[in-house]
Structure 1
Amino acid sequence: MKKKLLLILHLFFILLDLTNGFSDLDALLKLKASMAVSPGRGGLDDWEPPRPNSIVSNPHCSFSGVSCDENSRVTSLIISNFALNGSIPPEIGVLNKLVNLTLTFNGLTGELPLEMCNLTEIRFVNFSTNKLTGEFPGEIVAAMTELEVFDVYNNNFSGKLPLEFVKLKNLETLFLGGNFFSGKIPEEYSEFPSLRRLGLQGNALTGRIPSSLSRLSTLEELCLGYFNSYDGGIPPEFGSFKSLKLLDIGGCDLSGEIPESLGNLKMLHTLFLQFNNLTGEIPPDLSGLVSLKSLDLSSNNLTGGIPESFSDLKNLTLLNLFLNHLSGPIPPFIADLPNLEVLQLWTNNFTFSLPENLGSNGKLLILDVDGNHLTGTIPHDLCKGGKLQILVLMVNYFFGPLPENLGRCKSLTKIRIMNNFFNGTIPAGIFNLPELAMLELDNNYFTGELPAAMYSQSLQIVSVSNNRITGIIPPAIGGLVNLTKLLLQSNNLVGVIPEEMFNLKKLYVIDFSGNNLTGEIPASIGSCSDITSLDFSRNELTGEIPRSILSLLTLNVLNVSRNKLTGEIPSKLGHMKSLTHLDLSYNQFSGSVPSDGQLADFNDTIFAGNPNLCLPHTPHCESKSNLNHYSLIKSKLFLSIFIPITTISSILIAFFLIKRKNKIQNSKSWKLTAFQKLDFKAEDVIVCLKDENIIGKGGAGVVYRGSMPNGIDVAIKRLMGRNHGFEAEIQTLGTIKHRNIVRLLGYVCNRDTNLLLYEFMSHGSLGEILHGPKGAHLQWETRHKIAIEAAKGLCYLHHDCSPLIIHRDVKSNNILLDSDYEAHVADFGLAKYLRDAGGSECMSSIAGSYGYIAPEYAYTLKVDEKSDVYSFGVVLLELISGKKPVGEFGDGVDIVRWVRETISEIPQPPETAAVVAVVDCRLKGYVLESVVDMFKIAMMCVEEESTSRPSMREVVHMLTNANVQATCVVTV
């Protein structure tokens, strides 16, 4: 009591000092000065002191956002979205006649000043979407006895939920969501006398949801989900809310079944329970929600079917049931719901066909039933009202032709119907719809020709691959001015590649492979400067590779294999630094393969099937006359110098043997085998095996740094015994060569010991530096670069080696960094050849490192290239979070599980919030979009199902083309 009295006296004297000669005008000018208004944003530009001799009295009452009473006292201050920075000054307490204080969507920081206790007449306070911090000052709340609305949504307040609000008899709206409040929801929150809206979502609340909240008889909106993590389930007592209109408890780890009592909420128009762990069947009693408009039960573990009683939900506009285990047919009454606009049922087990008259209500906007077991034809009336925007039917068993009226549905923005059994011709009008951006018809049985007229200004993606389309590629395709991806592979197309398509300046992926195209590759291809992937393989193309292709500076993939191309390989092709995949095999190229640039980094298989092509170091490339000439010269040289050299050599050898007689006896048994010319000997390696030269130890052996007489440093890995790891390293690294794979120089061995010699990497391994004291210096640009380079190394193993190579031990400690932090994939002791690309091999035991092992490998012992992809995804998560794969998250929890659990409570779309939740706090000045893009790629790589993971070729493409525009730079 004494402490409170002292606080009151302290505030009294502060306020007395502020109000002594301090006017509302002075307070507002101080407010502007404290808030650091961004130049040019307007809004507060007219907040200026009066000029000398000004006849205007009380100028502050005409300031923007300010309202006054008849005594020129400020009663309302509304400043929203003006990019204000800084803090709220103590002088705010001078404005003691304020009724409305609204400072939303700015960048205000710091704590609320205690001088706000003077705002005793305030009724509306709204500070939402700022960066205000600190534990919430309950004294301020207690002083605002007339408060009706208090909104601090989306700030950085922390601590326990304040209890002082409960005593405010007029309080109707309390929004504390989007902060960092922790602990349990107080039982006292069931005692609000007049509360209508309560928002606690997006905090760090725990414990059980109090069932006593159901006593809030005046409550109309209740939001408790997202980032909070509650024990137990939904209190059945919530069915007794008399006035509740909105109930949102999504994404907060709720378990158990949905209470049948919720069907008693007659006033409820929105029920959101998505992203939880709810089980059981959908209660038929929910049909009692006669006012319900939006129902979202997605991403739970619900079973059973859609209750027939839902036919009573005549006001329903949105029905989201995706990502559950629902089964059975989609009931016919779904089509009869008069107001239904959104129906999303994807990733369930629904069977039979879509309701015949679906869409006949004329209001359907979105239909997504991807990944079920549906069959039948597309309902004719889906676009009856001309409002359908998104149609997603992929991965089902639909058949029959597409309705012609889809080509007249001008509202469509996205059509995704791949992996079905559709047939017939594609309605021509689809290519001319004014809003359509994505058209994906892959893996069906469409026939006929592509339409001769295409003039859509909106189409960005056209994918009609793996169908039975015939005819030519129409020149009119050049009219699709915003096209970015054109995929027509595996059809029966004929004719030439039209010149007109290379007028499409935004095009970056073209795939015409597996058709019957003829003619030459147009030289105009060089005008498509943004192309990253070009695949013309498996056609009948003739002529040469146009030199204009060298101007495609972002080209990652070039595949022209299995055509009839002739001429020489362009000499500058090896200088295209972005090229990660190249295939020129099975053509009629001639001449010599350019020896400079990075062509030497690719496997010789990319040139196979070109009998007139001269590869480096192939004998048939030298003419017989040259061979005879060189043979004659060699013979004369041999005769002229053989005898004297033999004599001198004999003397030197004898002298050397005598000189070395007293050396360590077992040094005679050391043998050096080199994979390139080396200017040192086995003895030079052996003398480096000292404890002071050790730079690393692991399960595979000990690594030493060795300084050779020629000044070159090498890394020496010592393996005891002639084990499998030694053989695997030699077998793989001895035969492959790539810039981003560590180079094996050779090996030294004797009867007991094997020493592998590598190029030395001065910055050690990624794992050591990332998780060590130097990790703070590894900033985002370098991490992104390392990710791309390591991906290119793995991409080479998986796609350019024949047979392909599975690394089996991809981890951050096996990615080495040279003096420029360039990444090199290392340690091939567990590597395996995979003879059947796309197949898998069954191992006798698990190999690899804990935290990186793919689920299918751990469970079935089957391994393929997608196992490496999973491990690489873990490396990406390490780069993003700065955390080790295991050991930081509790027993049995690895980094993948930790990330999934961390983001499981985030509502869609989760990427930005997810990155903020897991990003390495040591990163400064990073481009948020770039981190988000890598996060998406990482999560694709660590998918549970191996078939859902991208290939390493796709990973390289995505990383290389990730968003690097600095539209949002995080500087903390």
Structure 2
Amino acid sequence: MIELLFLILSIISPTLSLNQEGLFLLQAKHNLSDPSNSLSNWSPHDSTPCNWTGILCNNLTNSVTSINLPNSDLSGPFPTSLCRLPSLSHLSLPNNSLNSTLPTTIFTCTTLHHLDLSLNLFSGELPNTLSNLPNLKQLNLSFNNFSGKIPPTFGFFRRLQSLSLVNNLLTGNIPSSLSNVSSLKELHLAYNNFFSEIPQEFGNLTNLEILWLSGCNLVGQIPVSLRKLVRLQNLDLSRNMLNGTIPELMISGLTSIVQIELFQNSFSGELPRAGVSNLTHLERFDASDNELTGTIPDELCRLKNLGSLNLYYNKLNGSLPESLASSENLYELLLFNNTLTGKLPSGLGNNSKLQLLDVSFNKFSGEIPASLCRQGSLQELLLIHNSFSGEIPASLGNCVSLMRVRFGNNNLSGVVPYGLWGLPHMYLLELVENSLSGSISNAISRANNLSILLISGNRFNGSIPESIGLLDNLGEFVASRNSLTGQIPTGMVKLSQLGRLVLRDNQFSGEIPNWVGDWKKLNELDLANNRFVGNIPSELGTLPGLNFLDLSGNLLSGEIPMDLQNLKLDIFNLSNNKLSGEIPPLYANENYRESFLGNTNLCADLSGLCPNLGEKSKNRNFVWVFRFIFVLAGVVLIVGVAWFYFKFQNFKKIKKGFRTSKWRSFHKLGFSEFEIVKLMSEDNVIGSGSSGKVYKVVLSNGEVVAVKKLWRGIKIESGNVNDQEKDEFEVEVETLGKIRHKNIVRLWCCYNSGDNKLLVYEYMPNGSLDDLLHSGKKNLLDWPTRLKIAVDAAEGLSYLHHDCVVPIVHRDVKSSNILLDGEFGAKIADFGVAKFVRGVSNGTEEPMSMIAGSCGYIAPEYAYTLRVNEKSDIYSFGVVILELVTGKHPVDQEYGEKDLVKWVSSKLNEEGHDQVIDPTLDSKYKEEISKVLNLGILCTSSLPINRPSMRSVVKMLQEVTTVAKSRSGKFSPYYQEVVSDNDH
């Protein structure tokens, strides 16, 4: 073959002088697909390949020693001709699309020291001949589709120092023969489908520094033999099914350990008391999400190099040792969801640059230590649901590094430190359910980043300062159940991001200002039980997202504005005021009767609202009224029976099988189920998919709804492999029936008769993002609109992950499931495969019996491990971001065997941002687009741990939006997660 290739090349170029190694490389190129022309300068006209892309040669002999072609968009089988290069020691081809099986002839690459084929598409079993490579030191086959068992022959490697098989489809037991590779320093087997105990023999790997076995379905106990791994720096046994206790002898032997992770297992028993103090190099200890009991050892807290201590989600009790305060390197302390008691160490934070402290959901008491921010690095302080008492330390008012503060549900008292109100980087301040007093300080004007302010259930008094209107990012302000007075300050008109305002149960007075109509993002307005007077502003009817309006228990007068009929309200309460006149027709029915009680001058044909007539008048007319009704009823009965018979027969022909008893409403409706059924026709179909058809239905009152009729027999996988199969209809109803958010599509009602299943949603006139972005209507989506869509969709997903009482993973995030209203506001839709997941916020994964999702959007670890958590949604959302930036489909023939994620990665490496960004977008937005593009790349990281939380994604997008609006200032990326994935 080589001779034939040489002959052909000689005919083409009579002056050919390429050496033999160059010919071997050209043969490899010939057998590979190279759509991106990564190998374009591999020319037969050169005398040597030493100047070719990715090639390194020995300076003396010009022999090829290294081939390095990452992210080169290469596809095809493994190029075996490379094994004929006599001096090749380094072969690195990661993040390509190499496929097929890895040939057994790979053992002919006898000179290799380093082989990296990670992030490709190899499948089949691992070749048992790999161990015949006598000089191999590093072998990386991670993120492929290898299946079957690890060959026992892998125990025959002679010099191997690093073995990485992460994120494949490997099964069976982890072979004990690996313990024979005494040269191993790194062993990475995480995220495979093993069902295995940790081999006792691993204690023989005395040179091992890193052992990564997370997500491997490990069972049994941690072997005591691991105590012999005296050089171990990182032990990660997270996300398995291990049980038992942490062996004392093991811990006492690991004298050089740097990191030990036991995250999300099923360990039980107490932390060992003996031997912990020998871990002199321990920097990070993570035994979170287990069933550990007992107290936290004092010996553990005395370790001077300890930087991160994660013991959350266990059953630990007792107090936190005072010795922890003496640590000089502690930057992270996560102990939430235990039953710990006593006080926090009084000097905590004195000696170390503490960044994150979360002891929420325990039974801590006493005062908050004043030293927590002594070193000026504290960013996250979460103490909710404890019994802390006393005043908030004044020192926290000077802690400018703070970004997230949650003191809710404690026994704190006194005045909030002046400076705490106005910390410049803080985006969340929660003080709910304490006994705090004083007023809201004018210093709040300096809290430029504040997005959420929660102070309900305290004793705050005085008025809301005008300066609160300077908080451009404020989206949620809840101050109910206090003693606040005065009027709503005019400065609040500037709060364009305000989505939730709850001021109920205070002593506010004055009129409700008509400029509330400027709060276009307002979703909830609750001013109940105050002293507001005057008319209800008609401008409220112009708020497109308002679905919660409670103005009850005030002194409001005048008529109810007819404009309120424009709203789609889930909660509507105007009771106990002084309103008069008529009720708007949309609300003049029994469904809304309780919304108007206690307004003595408000009259409608509803029981309990109109003034009672005198008894004498009633008696005088009773006989004649009765006679008239009796005669009229007889006539109506005869006519009605005849009319109903013919109409009912016709109705049965139109929609046979529907019964009103099967309807279920989640909101107060202004239409009937009969009308929905009658108006459904094939002429009104606006979409059709794998689960059913979608109809546009225009009702008699002018309202438009979308009706989804599911195909008969549609079933979806419910979540846990042991669960029974669930109906898609049931999952959608179960999920959307419990959700209230401006960026989640609303489910009005549903119908289920077994054979016929209907879901009635709010109608989204601009269809889906997919419809617009990948059609002739793409010109409607300029960059500001696309950025707005990204922010809206991110906020919806963040609500599902972080704010739902039981967190929800959507599992099918894609552009066709992001719907757009008339103003291009985005809402997440289609929850047919969504899953309620316990512990989403702390990274819990649940095994699935099948993959849910759509091609091009599925996270790599989900496809390999069938485990789902919020990181899978974040990957899918990252793909949507890349769609918005590039204008391209997630999968396309243009990419070859790659998808959009890999296409973007390769293009960026070769040609830069300009070749990735949608050319139809205005170049003046290039800087902002590039920042969002970087966020999309971050969200689609192949390693789930590197992806930010959805709350952080929202934060980053909001920062871009702020820069886009102001056109000034410097973007400060928030790409490093500084918070735990839990969302206390």
TM bucket normalised to smaller = 0.5 to 0.7
Residue 382 of structure 1: how far off its partner (Å): 0.7
Say whether 1:484 aligns with 2:475.
yes
Query: Residues 37-56 of structure 1: matches in 2 within 5 Å?
Result: 37=36, 47-48=40-41
Aligned 1:286-301 pairs, distance under 5 A: 286-301=276-291
Shift in Å at residue 417 of structure 1? 0.8
Aligned position for 2:758: 818
Matching residue's letter, 1:299: D
1:146 aligns with 2:146: no
In the TM superposition, residue 168 of structure 1 has moved relative to its aligned partner by 2.2
Give 3-state SS (helix, strand or coil) of 1:384's partner. coil
Please list the CA deviations of residues 777-827 of structure 1 after superposition, one character each: whole Å capped at 9, or x if unmatched. x999999976676458999xxxxxxxxxxx9xx99878963397899xxxx
Partner of 1:41: none
Select which of 573, 582, 592 maps to 1:603. Answer: 592
RMSD after superposition: 5.3
The amino acid across from 1:566 in the alignment is S
Structural mapping, 1:1-20, within 5 Å: none
Match of 1:78 among 60, 68, 80: 68
What residue ranges of structure 2 are gaps of 5+ in the alignment?
Answer: 10-18, 677-698, 700-704, 718-724, 743-748, 764-803, 814-833, 884-888, 892-898, 900-984
- Distance verdict in 2 for CA 1:424–1:90, change over 3 Å: same
Work out whether residues 153 and 178 of structure 1, in 8 Å CA contact, stay in contact via their aligned partners in 2: yes
Q: Which residue pairs with 1:367 in the alignment?
A: 357
Give CA-to-partner distance per residue, 1:421-457, whole Å, 9 cap, x none: 1111111212322321211111111111111132222
1:433 and 2:433 are equivalent in the alignment: no
What is the CA-CA distance between 1:344 and the residue it aligns to?
1.5
TM-score by length of 2: 0.66
TM-score (norm 1): 0.67
Give the aligned partner of residue 89 of structure 2: 99
What do the CA deviations read for 1:668-726 (whole angstroms, capped 9, x no partner)?
A: xxxxxxxxx787557x89xxxxxxxxxxxxxxxxxxxx8447855464779xxxxxxxx
**Mapping of residues 742-761 of structure 1, within 5 Å:** none
For 2:706 and 2:416, how far apart are their aligned partners in 1? 59
Q: Percent identity?
A: 28
Pick aligned residue for 1:910 from 828, 833, 843: 843
Distance 1:409 1:813, change over 3 A: farther
1:604 CA drift (Å): 1.4
| Residue ranges of structure 1 left out of the alignment (5+ in a row) | 1-9, 38-43, 657-676, 686-705, 719-728, 746-758, 796-806, 824-870, 881-897, 940-957
Change (3 A) 1:214 1:878: closer
Q: Secondary structure at the match of 2:309?
A: strand
Cα deviation, 1:33-55, whole Å, max 9, x if unaligned, reads: 62544xxxxxx76844669xx8x
The answer to whether residue 8 in structure 2 is matched with residue 68 in structure 1 is no
Q: How far 1:561 moved relative to its partner?
A: 1.5
Aligned to 2:746: none
- Using the alignment, how far apart are the partners of 1:813 and 1:353 within structure 2? 58
User: Deviations for 1:438-487, whole angstroms, at most 9, x for unmatched residues?
Assistant: 11111111111111132222221111111111111111111222222111
Aligned to 1:134: 123
Per the alignment, residue 358 of structure 1 pairs with: 348
Question: Which digits, 9 at most, give the CA deviation of each residue in 1:715-771, with x for residues without a partner?
Answer: 4779xxxxxxxxxx79x99999746996799xxxxxxxxxxxxx9x99999796432
Which letter does structure 2 place at the counterpart of 1:817? K
AA paired with 1:372? N
Q: Measure the CA separation in 2 of the matches of 1:414 and 1:815.
A: 50
Equivalent residue pairs, number:
758
SS in 1 for 2:565: helix
- The answer to whether the 8 A contact 1:400-1:423 is kept is yes
Mapping for residues 686-701 of structure 1, pairs under 5 Å: none
Note if 1:215 corresponds to 2:204.
yes
Match of 1:507 among 473, 495, 498: 498
**Distance across 2 between alignment mates of 1:98 and 1:918:** 44
What amino acid sits opposite 2:465 in the alignment? P
Q: Counterpart of 2:33? A: 34
Tell me the residue number matched to 1:23: 23
The answer to whether the Cα contact below 8 Å between 1:739 and 1:793 also exists between their aligned partners in 2 is no
Alignment correspondent of 1:202: 191
Distance 1:458 1:309 in 2: 40
Matched with 1:494 is 485
* Residues 584, 386 of structure 1: alpha-carbon distance in 2 compared, 3 angstrom cutoff: same
Of 141, 163, 179, the residue aligned with 1:190 is: 179
- Correspondence for 1:475: 466
Alignment partner, residue 464 of structure 1:
455
Aligned-partner Cα distance in 2 for 1:531–1:586: 24
Match of 1:344 in 2: 334
CA separation of 1:613 and 1:140: change in aligned 2, threshold 3 A: farther
Match of 1:123 among 105, 110, 113: 113
- Sort the Cα spacing of 1:318 and 1:67 in 2 relative to 1 into closer, same or farther, 3 A: same
CA distance in 2, matches of 1:13, 1:213: 50
| SS of match in other structure, 1:34 | coil
1:100 to partner: Cα distance: 2.2
Amino acid corresponding to residue 598 of structure 2 in structure 1: G
Matched with 2:555 is 564
User: In 1, Cα distance between the equivalents of 2:183 and 2:503?
Assistant: 67
Tell whether the 8 Å contact from 1:154 to 1:177 is kept in structure 2 after alignment: yes
Q: 1:240 maps to which residue?
A: 228
The 3 A distance-change label for structure 1 pair 363 and 156 is same
The worse-fitting range, judged by mean Cα deviation, of 101-110 and 331-340 is 101-110
Deviation at 1:291, TM superposition (A): 1.7
Q: Distance in 2 between matches of 1:317 and 1:873?
A: 31
Q: Distance in 2 between matches of 1:741 and 1:569?
A: 24
Q: Does 1:173 align with 2:172?
A: no
> Residue 420 of structure 2 aligns to a residue in which SS?
helix
Q: Mark the CA change 1:294 to 1:733 in structure 2 (over 3 Å): closer, same or farther.
A: closer
Q: Structure 1 residues 65, 489: CA separation in 2 closer, same or farther (over 3 Å shift)?
A: farther
- Aligned CA distance change for structure 1 residues 202 and 592 (closer, same or farther; 3 Å): same
Q: Which residue of 2 aligns with 1:748?
A: none
Deviations 1:200-242 (A, max 9, x none): 111111132110111112212111222x223310111111223
Aligned equivalents of 2:560, 2:8: Cα separation in 1: 85
Aligned to 1:885: none
Match among 310, 329, 332 for residue 319 of structure 2:
329
Give the structure, 1 or 2, with the largest relative contact order (CA under 8 Å, sep 6 or more): 2
2:143 aligned partner, one-letter code? N
Question: Which secondary structure state, in structure 2, belongs to the residue aligned with residue 205 of structure 1?
Answer: coil
Report if aligned partners of 1:398, 1:422 keep a CA contact under 8 Å in 2: yes
Q: What SS does the aligned partner of 1:517 have? A: strand
Matched, 1:163 2:152: yes
- Cα distance in structure 2, aligned partners of 1:310 and 1:792: 43
1:250 CA drift (Å): 1.7
Give how far 1:155 is off.
2.8
Question: Is contact 2:588–2:606 with CA below 8 Å preserved after alignment?
Answer: no
Deviation at 1:323, TM superposition (A): 1.5
- Indicate which of 243, 246, 251 corresponds to 2:239: 251
Inter-partner Cα distance in structure 2 for 1:135 and 1:321: 39
* TM-aligned CA distance change 1:449 to 1:124, over 3 Å: same
Shift of the 422–821 alpha-carbon distance from structure 1 to 2, 3 Å rule, reads closer
**Separation in 2 of the partners of 1:287 and 1:305?**
16
Matching residue within 496, 503, 523 for 1:532: 523
CA distance in structure 2 between the partners assigned to 1:279 and 1:329 by the alignment: 19
Measure the CA separation in 1 of the matches of 2:757 and 2:868: 22
Contact 2:288 / 2:310 at 8 angstroms: preserved in 1? Answer: yes
2:535 to 540, 544, 568: 544
Partner-residue secondary structure (3-state), 2:557: coil
Secondary structure of 1:204 counterpart: coil
* d(CA) in 2 for partners of 1:194, 1:17: 46
Output the CA distance in 1 between the equivalents of 2:232 and 2:468: 54
Distance in 1 between the 2:867 and 2:577 partners? 38
1:547 to 1:27, Cα distance in 2 relative to 1, 3 A: farther
